[in-house]
Amino acid sequence: MPGANRWLKRLGTDLLQAAAIMLLVALLVFLVIRLIPGNPAQQVLGQRATPRSVAALERELGLDRPLLAQLGSYFGGLLHGNLGHSLVEQGVSVRSLVISGLGVTLAVVLAAVLLSVLIGVPFGLVSALSGKSAVDVGVRGVSVLLLASPPFFIGLLLILVLSLQAHLLPAGGWGSGWPAGLKYLVLPALALSCYLGPIVVRAVRQAALEASRQPYVEVTLARGISPRRVVLRHILPNSLLPLITLIGLNIGWLISGAVVVEVVFALPGLGQVLAQAVTELDYTVIQGVAIVSAFVVVAANLLADVAYSLVDPRIRLAR
């Protein structure tokens, strides 16, 4: 493959850039967490703790060392995937807390992405190909209205209609396992896809309109190929391409949306871990969640870039 070399070079640049951003992210988190007023050891032990026990905990947490030394051991820990221990729940590692929460959050986000693509792509395509008809106006109107309603509101409406009135699905809670746990995932994912879905509809509509105006479509039609085949084989693949970048770019917002939707549906996700850590002033957990969620976003963007360049030969061979 002639472009393979260039592609590898590009991949290397992307990787380096992502690594630089992650480094900056970790540094920002380290500094910002240290802006929190008050002494963490004092906060954990309570106001009536003796100075000696505060000093002992400080030594145990390494807070008595100079800032640069703390930074060094912090980065050393990060490289080993070690995020430290929870200050409040003795003996529980931050990694296990973050991983259990992240699993739930990512499950909701991925299900929402899947639903958005499955629902959004057909609607976007139909909307683009129907010209300026009532269908187009209807699809665009509904998607604008959905985009304007925050996911937690859609979630509350879904609970009201589908679980409290129709008793179809549970109003909240979490169950693991397959497929028993699936029913807990449906409503949160549906609520969250009301944010991403309209964006998908818009992007697919735009891309399909653009693709259908390309000369090659006219040529294919003139050669007597059926319009259906033109749509499915030529217009559809071209309108799916922008979705990769779009989803990568929106992962951050989806995680934010999922954090709120989780509270509405009482899911044990990242949102709950974080909210609890904030009320308990559990610094190490806050630090861990902030770093890991930012890493997920950076990784998703990197993945989107790589996937896009793999799928689209124009990008793979360019530069």
Partner 1 sequence: MSTPLPAADTGAPGPAPARTPPGPGRMRRALMFPGLRRAWGRSMSVRIGASLLILICLACALVPVFWPDAPDNFVTAPFAPPSLAHPFGTDDLGRDVFVRVLVGGRLDITIAVCVVALSCLAGTIIGTCAGASRRRWANLAVARLVDALIAFPYMVVILVLVVIVGPNAQVGPVPRGLTAVLIAFLVLGWTFYARLSRAQAMSIRQRDYIVAAEIVGYPRWRIIARHILPGVVPVAAAYAVADAILTMGALSSFAFLGVGVQPPTPEWGAIMYEGRAYLGSAWWITVFPGVLLALTGFALSLLADGLLPDE
What residue ranges bind partner 1 (CB under 8 A)?
20-21, 24-25, 28, 32-33, 35-37, 144-145, 147-150, 152-153, 156-157, 159-160, 164, 198-199, 202-203, 206, 209, 249-250, 252-253, 255-256, 259-260, 263-264, 271, 274-275, 278-279, 281, 286, 289-290, 293-294, 297-298, 301
Query: At its nearest, how many Å lie between partner 1 and the CB of residue 159?
Result: 6
Query: At its nearest, how many Å lie between partner 1 and the CB of residue 179?
Result: 27
Query: Which residues lie closer than 8 Å to 62 by C-beta, 6 or more apart?
Result: 69, 70, 73
- In terms of Cβ atoms closer than 10 Å to its own Cβ (0-12, 13-18, 19+), residue 121 is buried
| Complex with partner 1: residue 3 or 103, whichever CB lies closer | 103
8-state DSSP, 64: T
Query: At its nearest, how many Å lie between partner 1 and the CB of residue 294?
Result: 4
Are 316 and 310 a contacting pair, CB within 8 Å?
A: yes
| Complex with partner 1: residue 141 or 181, whichever CB lies closer | 141
Which pair of structure tokens corresponds to residue 206? 């735009």
| Complex with partner 1: residue 230 or 289, whichever CB lies closer | 289
Phi, psi of 270 (to 5 degrees): -60, -35
* Alpha carbon distance 58, 60 (integer Å): 5
| Complex with partner 1: residue 56 or 106, whichever CB lies closer | 106
Are 203 and 243 a contacting pair, CB within 8 Å?
A: yes
| Complex with partner 1: residue 155 or 230, whichever CB lies closer | 155
Which pair of structure tokens corresponds to residue 266? 């009482």
Query: At its nearest, how many Å lie between partner 1 and the CB of residue 11?
Result: 18
| Complex with partner 1: residue 4 or 278, whichever CB lies closer | 278
Query: At its nearest, how many Å lie between partner 1 and the CB of residue 2?
Result: 29
| Alpha helices for the chain (secondary structure H) | 4-33, 40-45, 51-61, 67-79, 94-129, 134-148, 151-158, 182-212, 215-222, 227-230, 236-265, 270-280, 283-311, 313-317
Query: At its nearest, how many Å lie between partner 1 and the CB of residue 279?
Result: 7
The distance between the two most distant Cα atoms of the chain, rounded to a whole number of Å, is: 87
